[in-house]
Structure 1
Amino acid sequence: MALNSINTNSGALIALQNLNTTNAELQTTQQRINTGKKIASAKDNGAIWAMAKTQQGTSNSMNAVKDSLQRGQSTIDVALAAGDTITDLLGKMKEKALAASDTSLNTTSFNALKADYESLRDQIEKAATNAKFNGISISDGSTTKLTFLANSDGSGFTVNAKTLTLAGLNLTGTTITNAADAKAKLTDLGNAIQTATNKLASLGTASTGLDTHLTFVGKLQDSLDAGVGNLVDADLAKESAKLQSLQTKQQLGIQALSIANSSSSSILSLFR
């Protein structure tokens, strides 16, 4: 037989426990909806939270890698632009040298060609030394190689420098003094053009390698971010449905507690 007591109301205690449980679940669900995460802190699930933080740190570090690779791309692009200009100038120098090798020229015409030749020569040096990005050049002979970040562990992607100055093309101090000398310079200029194009081809290969690795790093970062999301992100559709259910359950719990509390007042009827 159930005990009629005003000191202990078992029904109310049970209803209160159930209501408190529902309120706790409702608070958790609301927090997930507000933050968009099912694991927002270490107390939600320490192991998963730690794993997600580690992967998130790796993903964030990839931003530095991408920045470094993009600087590498820009540095090479500047060198390639200078190289295009230099090969054009070499072609014009060869044209001037060929014209100056004509023994039928008078002194005035030869000197004019010589001046053009030397002007083109000086422009080559300027193009090579001015081809800098952020103060760094791989075409002026100031460095032998540059290493850019390749991964979050600090490993690098090395690009070998290619000197495109007159010294790098074996044309230091080159000039033409007469028709015979101009004819002899044709071989030097042909070799310089071949050397320049070989060096530019190598830089182009390095640029392609940087592009490929940068694409890979971007995909890797996306995969890491997706993995972190799978670990900690909440299913908002599921949480929304659960919220509706818990709100209904909360209202029913309040009513059940009210009914359980009112049962004690029925004892008063025994004393009338």
Structure 2
Amino acid sequence: VSLTTLDVDTTKTMLIDEDTAANGLLTADLIGKDGTTAITGTNVLNIDITAATTTELADYLSGVDTVLKGMTSAAADLGSVSKRISLQTDFVADLKDSITSGVGKLVDADMNEESTRLKALQTQQQLGIQALSIANSNSESILSLFR
């Protein structure tokens, strides 16, 4: 039985990273529509829209969309890993059942073979005893003729 490990990029699944804000989906700088950082030092947790311009609001929406995409991607990755783990668990259980069943069949087959071999040896022994008995009784009959 072999076990395969799965690698998960945890930087793509962390929502809030207190040590390195750029690693958290909710604490990273917002990314604008063009893929560049829209506003540094601003993240989803501290958005203030009261004094925001239309461009900043559009960038905020883009940032929220980016976070949603990241969370959706992370959820898909976790779902995929979960499914693989489930499949491996089922496979190992089926393999264990197959091995147990196979060993049982081998033991049963060996017991049948040994039982047959024992019967054959017992039959040979009985035939040998009968042959000796017949030989002994015939020799006495032949000796009685010479008397």
Which amino acid in structure 2 is aligned with residue 174 of structure 1? T
SS of 1:91's equivalent in the other structure is: coil
1:198 corresponds to 2:130: no
The answer as to whether partners of 2:25 and 2:67 remain within 8 angstroms in 1 is yes
Separation in structure 2 between the aligned mates of residue 178 and residue 251 of structure 1, nearest angstrom = 98
Structure 1 runs (4+) deviating above 6 angstroms are 177-181, 235-247
Cα deviation digits, residues 102-132 of structure 1 (max 9, x gap): xxxxxxxxxxxxxxxxxxxxxxxxxxxxxxx
1:84 alignment partner in structure 2: 13
1:268 corresponds to 2:143: yes
Gaps of 5+ in 1: 1-62, 98-165
Q: TM-score, normalised by structure 1?
A: 0.33
The offset of 1:242, in angstroms, is 7.3
Q: Return the structure number with greater relative CO, CA threshold 8 A, min gap 6.
A: 1
Separation in structure 1 between the aligned mates of residue 28 and residue 15 of structure 2, nearest angstrom = 10
How many residues are treated as equivalent by the alignment?
Answer: 128
Between structure 1 and structure 2, the one with the greater Rg is 2
1:174 alignment partner in structure 2: 37
Give the alignment of 1:1-272 within 5 angstroms.
71=4, 74-75=6-7, 78-79=8-9, 81-85=10-14, 88=17, 89-94=24-29, 172-174=35-37, 176=39, 184=56, 185-225=59-99, 228=102, 232-234=106-108, 251-266=125-140, 267-272=142-147
The offset of 1:234, in angstroms, is 1.4
The answer as to whether partners of 2:6 and 2:81 remain within 8 angstroms in 1 is no
Cα deviation digits, residues 232-261 of structure 1 (max 9, x gap): 541777778777776665544432232123
CA 1:257–1:172: 2 relative to 1, 3 Å: farther
The offset of 1:86, in angstroms, is 6.9
The offset of 1:199, in angstroms, is 0.8
The offset of 1:87, in angstroms, is 5.9
RMSD: 4.5
Q: TM-score, normalised by structure 2?
A: 0.53
The answer as to whether partners of 1:91 and 1:193 remain within 8 angstroms in 2 is yes
The offset of 1:262, in angstroms, is 2.0
